[in-house]
Structure 1
Amino acid sequence: MPYTTRHTGVLTAVPAAVLVALAPSFTASAEPVPSPASSPSALSWEPCEGEVAEGAEPVPECATLPVPLDYADPDGPVVSLALSRLPAEDDRARRGALFLIPGGPGGSSLGDPAGKGRKLPQEVRDQYDLIGFAPRGLAPSTAVDCGLEHGDLALSALRPWPAPDGSVDGNTATAQRVADACARNGGELIRHIGTANNARDLDRVRAALGERRISAWGVSYGTYVGAVYREMFPHRTDRIVLDSNDDPDPERVARAWLAGHERGVEDVFPHFAAWASKPGNPNRVAETAAEVRPLFLRLAARLDREPIPWPGANPEELNGNVLRQTMLDSLYRPGSYPTLAKLMLAARKGTVPPAPPTPPKAVLQNVAAVGAGTLCNDVAWPKSPALYEKDVAESRAAFPLTAGMPRNAMPCAAWPYPPRRAPVRITDRGPSNVLLVQNERDAATPLAGARKLREALGGRAVMVTVNSTGHGSYLADGNACGDATVSRFLSTGERPARDTYCR
């Protein structure tokens, strides 16, 4: 959903992986290049340069692959995909390719083979070529840009926070403005960005690699891409790990992901409150955990009424919705809790910290366009402002921390292009080769949504739920039980006999 500083479940906002995606080792054309693309292309691998390779040993390899702009016209214009690879470390043990599917929409995994891929246990690295990529539309793959106004690139604008009184009029105007800009500046590519095409692109990569089947580790939005690939190409899959899982609701798709934030925040906020009230914490905001929630709500309400000027930030004030957006971003992982606590302490004093650094404008524009194109092309969103007004009012009453944002209108409410086809429905048909791993407390992709994906997959999947907090589970939060379960599956194919819980 909307944009945060990590690979989230919806409209991600400029994760570090996206910055890596802009490394100068590739040249991305802004427009499709006419060329036949009806058969897979051979890949020409060269040592990566720039951030994709920085500090890596061995240096990963990079390549580009042309794929059809429109799969309904496979011999028409093409776009390029930027790829990276670390070959398996033991030729005798090699099993195949492990695709590292990024979150987002708007995340890249180009840096992952040399980054998080190096955290994989040796027996996994021995068996798999690690494959990263920048999805279509995201630089240095052929890039898309909507040319949004500066104010519309603010994180608190990209997520549809209602006005302090609950009005959605401003969000409706923003949705129309962003949709118009994407239609005006996004070219033909903006119409062909979406999850089904991401899955088709992955199968083109598979074929170009010469692999009969692929394994995958998808995180956040990458779990939906992985599930859709698994549905569209079931017999092209080997071992599939889905980590921090999106609700696959075929009627709502990204609307369900956005709505999940209200539950996810409620799941995680008590953990933050316990940390933020702990004696000895230099960023302690309250004496007891019970005081933290009402303090946050009071501060947000006060900033709604009396914003504090914040030079250099976007927007240039600390208002209630900026505090709420910071809360949401900070709950993605415990390591970010100090960011929220420090802002709460400053707001209580009527001050602000230095303006947070922001990625280059080109990165923000690119990520915003990929996110909007994916969410809005995947499924039709309701157009009626009255529906959003009703949903926002209900959400504000039940979940005051998120103030109605998770049920509000995004640019998709004004999107000018109808979906080309219905969303892919995730089913229980096909080989049983999926392992879901899910933290119990996850603000971005809550456990409730993961259970819906588990239910949709039926006997094709097993799920391990981990007693941990944060977004991203495998090799991310130090849970030895969860990590060992996933590593065993990737290296041997062995899964638990039934759904399990890791304490």
Structure 2
Amino acid sequence: MKQRARSGLLLALSVSAVAATLSAVPAQAAGSSSPELRWRPCAQEGGPDRQECAELSVPLDYGDPEGPRTRLGVSRVPSDRPEARRGTLIVIPGGPGGSGTQRLAQKGKALRKELGGAYDLVALDPRGIGGSDRTGCGLSDEDRDLVNLRPWPGPGGDIADSVRRARRVADACARDGGPLLRSMSTANEVRDIDSFRSALGEEKLSAFASSYGTYVAAQYAQKYPDRTDRWVLDSNGDPDPKRVARGWSANLSPAMEQRFPDFARWAADPAREKDGPEGGGGLRLARRAEDVRPMVVALAERLDRHPKPTTTPGRPLTGNRLRQALQLAMYGDTAFAGTARLIKDAGDPRATPVLPAALAGSVPEHEAAVTVSTICNDVRWPRRSLPATARDVAADRARYPLTGGMPVGVFPCAFWKWAPAEEPARITSDGPSNVLMIQNLRDPATPYFGALKMREALGRRARMISVDSGGHGAYLGTGNACGDRKVTDFLRTGERPEKDVLCAR
């Protein structure tokens, strides 16, 4: 569930890997004070100029606090108006597999401007990501290709290759992952956030959580309700503890159907005739919006049979690569033009398609390991028979052809070698009434109907702002002044709507 394209399930998309090491930091004596955070400048291009980074030592296993430890990368942007400062706000990234440090760099300027110095902004890199100690599963580049890491069926819906790959990934993680990989879970991220809070010397934290981060934030508020101040959850998933990531994945199919009409209207708009290079025919895909969907479905099916070479050697444009590119494009309207160009070039015998960066390389080793291990460690996935799974995929493929049956396919979790260390907590209405949810109506990754499940679970603790917009990420993301203003007012003044509200376009 990702800050834009990096937030959804198995959407860790950068293209470099770093070797993993397990920290040898000595264990802290029981009952001793929090370790000092040694801050150093780490401003990033495009981010706030005062961003700083440090390392935090935490137990590898909180059940054995005197045992081995691991290092986490942490970051902060101090308030630029100390006289206005009222607390500390943690930015919780999506994923699993998102970096808090990167998320803070992306959102830090906008948050500092909106919040007027009311908070020190902080973030934590989850285990295995960013500045934290890393591990991996030793996966091949081919297995870390996003269209292979996700269980896209073969032409005609055949699942044999995706099943073999899922089993191979699970075996590799069991063989090469080690104790750090086994420790990756939502529950431990929650504990790590609380260790960070303690190290900062804060009694309470406020939060701005996105996508999968909303589940982390909800779990934190469930475990440590008295340590939460003002809690914002943006782009929420269904928190059902029995399904968790499996349910989030299955929801991608109907979510695409809800979001795709936005793209179809854009692609059929006569204004698209003028888009693109001069003389290139523009980016208009059809005369009517209702014609875009069948055209794209037919093109993907043709590419299933006859993949087309691209500008990336060894990475042809297959039907699944087109479907995956389309799914990623739904995260924000700014990606519509590039996707329309990809579709146009796919159907033009004279053109050579250019893949989006996310599909031109493989998911980095450590990011793939974090995503897979977290979703598989959180809850046991059912081990259904392959014929039953094939029937599920065929039914989903027929009902939702834009996603081709992938969301209900076989993930490595079906063959995971160890059981979850603990059951995920059920989100309830127990605790202070200090949560504000914000949600786009047409979110392709964390759909509105799933967010309503989170709203129902939180009960009296929450209010919800529904934004009449498409895309993933609402606050400071879609340009909806109504939604932005209500979240900003809550974080700055504590004022929250008396009841759930709809922000129109």
**Matched residues in 2 for 1:140 and 1:80: separation?**
8
Q: d(CA) in 2 for partners of 1:62 and 1:306? A: 49
1:448-463 to 2 correspondences below 5 Å: 448-463=449-464
Residue 429 in structure 1 maps to residue 430 in structure 2: yes
Deviation at 1:40, TM superposition (A): 5.4
Q: Which amino acid in 1 is paired with 2:9? A: V
The structure 1 segments of at least 4 consecutive aligned residues displaced by more than 6 Å after TM superposition are 359-363
- Residue 415 of structure 2 corresponds to 414
The 2-side partners of 1:53 and 1:118 are apart by: 11
8 Å Cα contact 1:134-1:140 kept in structure 2 = yes
Mapped to 2, the partners of 1:239 and 1:165 lie a distance apart of 49
Q: 1:25 is matched with which residue?
A: none
2:330 pairs with 1:331: yes
Deviations 1:166-222 (A, max 9, x none): 222111101111111111221111100010100000000000000001000000011
Aligned to 1:12: 11
TM-score (norm 1): 0.93
Distance in 1 (CA, whole Å) between partners of 2:405 and 2:3 is: 17
1:237 paired to 2:228: yes
Distance 1:54 1:232, change over 3 A: same
Structure 1 residues 340, 218: closer, same or farther in 2, change over 3 A? same
Q: Distance in 1 between matches of 2:358 and 2:343?
A: 20
Which range moved further: 388-397 or 448-457? 388-397
**C-alpha displacement at 1:109, in angstroms?**
2.0
Aligned residues: 491
Which residue number corresponds to residue 93 of structure 1? 84
Q: What TM-score, normalized to structure 2? A: 0.92
Structure 1 residues 251, 284: closer, same or farther in 2, change over 3 A?
same
**Cα drift, residue 238 of structure 1:** 0.4
Say whether residues 1:42 and 2:35 are aligned partners: yes
* 2:193 is aligned with 1:214: no
Greater alpha carbon shift after TM alignment, 456-465 vs 160-169: 160-169
* Alpha-carbon distance in structure 2 between the residues aligned to 1:419 and 1:219: 24
Letter in structure 1 aligned against 2:57: P
> What stretches of structure 2 of length at least 5 have no aligned partner?
276-282
The verdict on how the C-alpha distance between 1:234 and 1:57 changes in structure 2, with shifts beyond 3 A counting, is: closer
Aligned to 2:279: none
Matched, 1:247 2:238: yes
Q: What one-letter code is carried by the residue in structure 1 that aligns with 2:302?
A: R
Tell me, yes or no, if the aligned pair for 2:304 and 2:320 is still in contact at 8 Å: yes
Q: Which amino acid aligns with 1:46?
A: W
Secondary structure of the 1:126 match is coil
User: CA contact under 8 A between 2:235 and 2:440: conserved in structure 1?
Assistant: yes
DSSP 3-state at the match of 2:100: coil
Contact 1:179–1:411 (8 Å) recurs in 2 = yes
- Are the counterparts in 1 of residues 232 and 436 from structure 2 also a CA contact under 8 Å? yes
The answer to whether the Cα contact below 8 Å between 2:234 and 2:474 also exists between their aligned partners in 1 is yes
Q: Name which of structure 1's ranges 459-468 and 4-13 shifts more when overlaid on structure 2.
A: 4-13
Task: Tell me which residue corresponds to 1:274.
Answer: 265
> Where do residues 188-199 of structure 1 align in structure 2 (5 Å cutoff)?
188-199=179-190
Secondary structure of the equivalent of 2:284? coil
Counterpart CA distance in 2 for 1:123 and 1:390 is 49
* Rounded Cα–Cα distance in structure 2 between residues aligned with 1:370 and 1:7: 13
Q: How does 1:142-153 map to 2 (within 5 A)?
A: 142-153=133-144
> Are positions 1:340 and 2:339 aligned together?
yes
Equivalent in the alignment of 2:317? 318
**3-state secondary structure, aligned to 1:321:** helix
Give structure 1 stretches of 5+ with no counterpart.
23-27
Q: Which amino acid aligns with 2:41?
A: C
Q: Secondary structure at the match of 1:308?
A: coil
Kindly provide the CA deviation profile for residues 353-410 of structure 1, in whole angstroms up to 9, marking residues without a partner as x.
Answer: 2344469989611110000011000011122223322321221122111111111111
Give me the whole-angstrom Cα distance separating, in 2, the residues matched to 1:401 and 1:191: 34
Q: CA deviation at 1:29?
A: 5.9
